[in-house]
Amino acid sequence: MTSALRLDAPDKDGVAVLWIDCPGQKVNTLSTSLVPEFEAMFAALNADPTVRALVIASGKDSGFIAGADIDDLGQVHTAAQATALSRAAQEGFAKLEAMKIPSVAAIHGECLGGGLELALACRARVATEHRKTKLATPEVMLGLLPGAGGTVRLPKLIGLTAALDMMLTGKNIRAEKARKLGLVDVTVPANALMDTAKRVARDLAAGKRIKEKKKTPLGQEVQELLLERNALGRRVVLHEARKKVLKQTKGLMPAPLRILDVVAKGTFEAEAAGFGELLMTPQSAGLRHLFHAITALKKDNGPGTEGITVQPAERVGILGAGLMGAGVGTVLADQGVRVRLKDRDHAAIGRGLDYARKVFAKAKKRKVYGQAGYDERMARFSGGTDYSGFGLCDIVVEAVFEDLALKQQMVADIERVTKVGGIFASNTSSLPIAEIAAHSAHPERVIGMHFFSPVEKMPLVEIIVTDQTAPAVTAATVALARKMGKHVIVVKDCAGFYTTRALVPYMTEAIFLATEGVALDQIDEAAMAIGFPVGPITLMDEVGIDVGVKVMKVMKHYYGERMQFPPDVSQALVDEGRLGRKASLGFYAYKDGKSTTEKGKKVVDVSVYKHLPQGGQVKGGDRAEMGERMVLGLCNEAALCLQEGILRDAYAGDLGAVMGIGFPPFEGGPFKYMDRIGLAAVVERLHRLEQKHGKRFRPCTLLVEMGRANGRFYA
């Protein structure tokens, strides 16, 4: 087997270069098999008198080290084994840290997880200023903690507060910020990386300082003294961090709390034990499953697309410059695509451009790019009230409100003005794509491209293909979504596709509970107790009650016999102008578009109860039972989508539910969740709910058959 490590002999100054280049992989990852190789290499270098310093660099153009090999973790079955795995990695990096010669990490691209922990064990770190260079400790996003010495070394290097921020959020740190934090010592242009790293290594070998120590401002010095350099201050920092974590996670995620415990102890032993315990938690299993789903779906371009190559779209037209259309355009322009907006008047176009300006201004403020980058992105936009410029577009994204006749008319209009082969992608959230294409001259070029709001933040795009959609059209649309940096699921056409269909039982069950007299805020609390980021009542206010009404009418038209819908109270809300946050009038109280709160909790607008059957006689409910009603309805519909072939596989169902509609990520998605409970138990619970509440809980055939056979969605 070809080794992942390659050593360049020392140059005339005694600086050797150790290249990490994992064979057969696009990116470097740290596997358990590499630990003995590293240890042998470090021992040999330490014993070689001709080597005075070492530079560690990546042989990949795409990055330094992307972290540990996740597949290795799937082979561990006990906490003791996981603890031993952590100890082995710690000992390997301890030998790097203890070398007689200085070592320098030369970082370009992603330096994540175990890759950053390796860099922390070096004497110094040099990073490129390239946009792709990012440093992070993302283990918390897998339900874990840094297990190769990171919890010990990182706080010592950059301070407790900054280290906790990195470990508890997993966020990426760009090179310039990393330099200011002290995480890296020098930043350079990419073409100067190796020369600079070798120079730093030579200087360290000669006993020289890398850089002059900056004088810390007095206020910052006092703060560090109070909070970082004494036991009482550290306890205060850890205590406040714990309060924040509990508020954000509701105690449902063990990893952030365990990170705080381990950092408080500050030992490698505590880190290894914490890593071992966390790896065995169901939350880590769910999050790692989600990682595998992401990896698997990167290879899925849709049915019939095998062997098809497409040219990335360079020009995209957008019909509708509202929040959704403007959001799509903003992300496209950020990724180098020229965007042409169309709306009914210039004021609407102006609002769409203002949306982009605000997003780009925030990025400029964060120093993602400078004024030139801002100007370049805005220059990619143009707009008007007619179809001028749309003839040049490779793809046209329609982002108007849910009106079938309007969308059909737009298909006809676009077919008249766009170039041969142009694609029409509808952003509908519920209408069948085949019906939108019903009068099209080229239905093979019509496809669904379902975005989620806000587009610049939501990570998913759902691509919907009909029986007539050409595979090349599917491949081109998937390529555009991926160019936007989105995760993609490709599903078969039907009303509501997958995400809306799965979401509707969850949302309607919330309305059923409300019509039974359960307090609105308690319904939200029941959903969040399961792990949903926001409750269904809040979600309706955020999306817009009027939008929900339109979607529910479509879904009731197609699925009313099977799904069962609650008494229609929504139209009365819309007629009153109660549209949610955007109107400062919804289920909750608002002032100037901002939620009214008391003691940290959102306040229900009690006047809304007059529209509900109980007329304001609200009551409490059993939180666990309410949560079960909402989540199992969603899971049953997800399984039915798989049964009907709307979903191509369970991975797409899990990723779509988590990334698109907020299913608790630590559960891994509805299919992983049902596997954890056991399908026979899921069927039994659904039957019990069916007897009590009606046919909407009748388990689908797939669940019944798999439950009877003790089956699983994942081996």
102 preceded by a cis bond (ω within 30 of 0): no
- Res. 111: pLDDT tops 50: yes
Residue 291, domain member (yes or no) = no
Name residue, tokens 């959020």: 169
Neighbours of 234 (CB within 10 A): 18
Which range of residues forms the domain containing residue 594?
500-645+648-708
Segment 258-276, tens digit of pLDDT: 999 999 999 999 999 999 9
CA dihedral in degrees (610, 611, 616, 622; nearest 10)?
-170
Smallest CA-to-CA distance from 174 within 391, 338, 414, 363 is with 363
Looking at the fold, whether 93 and 170 belong to one and the same domain comes out as: yes
More confident residue, 141 or 549: 141
The predicted pLDDT at position 220 comes to 58
Rounded Cα–Cα distance for residues 44 and 701 (Å): 62
Contact 543, 507 (CB under 8 A): no
Amino acid at 169: T
- Res. 210: pLDDT tops 70: yes
Looking at the fold, whether 114 and 238 belong to one and the same domain comes out as: yes
- Res. 653: pLDDT tops 60: yes
3-state secondary structure of 272: helix
Residue 297, domain member (yes or no) = no
Q: Is the dihedral of CA 492, 497, 501, 507 positive or negative?
A: positive
The predicted pLDDT at position 638 comes to 98
Looking at the fold, whether 471 and 507 belong to one and the same domain comes out as: no
- Res. 669: pLDDT tops 70: yes
The predicted pLDDT at position 225 comes to 57
Contact 431, 557 (CB under 8 A): no
Confidence of residue 625 (pLDDT cuts 50, 70, 90): very high
Smallest CA-to-CA distance from 84 within 35, 118, 119 is with 35
Rounded Cα–Cα distance for residues 22 and 557 (Å): 54
Contact 302, 471 (CB under 8 A): yes
Residue 300, domain member (yes or no) = no
Average pLDDT value for residue range 594-600: 87
Looking at the fold, whether 471 and 554 belong to one and the same domain comes out as: no
Looking at the fold, whether 247 and 396 belong to one and the same domain comes out as: no
- Res. 673: pLDDT tops 80: yes
Secondary structure of 386-419 in HEC code, one letter for each residue: CCCCHHHCCEEEECCCCCHHHHHHHHHHHHHHCC
Residue 191, domain member (yes or no) = yes
Residue 713, domain member (yes or no) = no
Amino acid at 524: D
The predicted pLDDT at position 219 comes to 56
Rounded Cα–Cα distance for residues 651 and 715 (Å): 12
Is there a catalytic annotation at residue 462?
yes
Segment 25-42, tens digit of pLDDT: 999 999 888 888 888 999
Among the candidates 280, 305, 333, a domain finishes at 280
The predicted pLDDT at position 421 comes to 77
Catalytic residue among 462, 509, 637, 667: 462
3-state secondary structure of 210: coil
CA dihedral in degrees (55, 61, 67, 69; nearest 10)?
-110
Give the burial class of 106: count Cβ atoms within 10 A of its Cβ; 0-12 exposed, 13-18 middle, 19 or more buried.
buried
CATH of the domain at 410: 3.40.50.720
Residue 379, domain member (yes or no) = yes
Q: Which two tokens stand for residue 333?
A: 């322009």
The predicted pLDDT at position 223 comes to 59
Amino acid at 239: H
Among the candidates 218, 253, 280, a domain finishes at 280
Looking at the fold, whether 492 and 504 belong to one and the same domain comes out as: no
Looking at the fold, whether 633 and 555 belong to one and the same domain comes out as: yes
- Res. 603: pLDDT tops 80: yes
Looking at the fold, whether 172 and 118 belong to one and the same domain comes out as: yes
Contact 429, 455 (CB under 8 A): no
Q: Is the dihedral of CA 517, 521, 527, 532 positive or negative?
A: positive
Rounded Cα–Cα distance for residues 273 and 82 (Å): 8
CATH of the domain at 669: 1.10.1040.50
Amino acid at 51: V
| Residue 588 DSSP class | B
Neighbours of 155 (CB within 10 A): 20
The predicted pLDDT at position 216 comes to 54
Residue 667, domain member (yes or no) = yes
Smallest CA-to-CA distance from 542 within 588, 473, 505, 592 is with 588
- Res. 61: pLDDT tops 80: yes
The predicted pLDDT at position 619 comes to 77
What is the percentage of the chain residues whose pLDDT exceeds 90? Answer: 81
Strands 53-58 and 5-8 turn out to be unpaired
CATH of the domain at 267: 3.90.226.10
Q: What is the pTM of this model?
A: 0.92
What is the percentage of the chain residues whose pLDDT exceeds 70? Answer: 97
Among the candidates 496, 521, 555, a domain finishes at 496
Number of domains within the chain: 3
The predicted pLDDT at position 714 comes to 96
The predicted pLDDT at position 616 comes to 63
The predicted pLDDT at position 631 comes to 98
3-state secondary structure of 33: coil
Segment 674-692, tens digit of pLDDT: 999 999 999 999 999 999 9
Strand locations in 35-149 (E): 53-58, 63-65, 103-107, 110-112, 124-128, 134-136
Rounded Cα–Cα distance for residues 461 and 397 (Å): 13
Rounded Cα–Cα distance for residues 637 and 647 (Å): 11
Looking at the fold, whether 463 and 529 belong to one and the same domain comes out as: no
Looking at the fold, whether 236 and 342 belong to one and the same domain comes out as: no
Rounded Cα–Cα distance for residues 412 and 394 (Å): 16
The predicted pLDDT at position 213 comes to 47
Contact 523, 535 (CB under 8 A): yes
Looking at the fold, whether 464 and 512 belong to one and the same domain comes out as: no
Confidence of residue 593 (pLDDT cuts 50, 70, 90): confident
Contact 423, 316 (CB under 8 A): no
Segment 410-464, tens digit of pLDDT: 999 999 888 767 899 999 999 999 999 999 999 999 999 999 989 999 999 999 9
Segment 211-260, tens digit of pLDDT: 644 555 555 555 565 666 677 888 888 999 999 999 999 899 999 999 99
Looking at the fold, whether 595 and 482 belong to one and the same domain comes out as: no
Smallest CA-to-CA distance from 184 within 253, 251, 241, 105 is with 105
Residue 97, domain member (yes or no) = yes
Task: Indicate the average pLDDT of the chain.
Answer: 93
Concatenated DSSP letters for 357-373? HHHHHHHHHTTSS-HHH
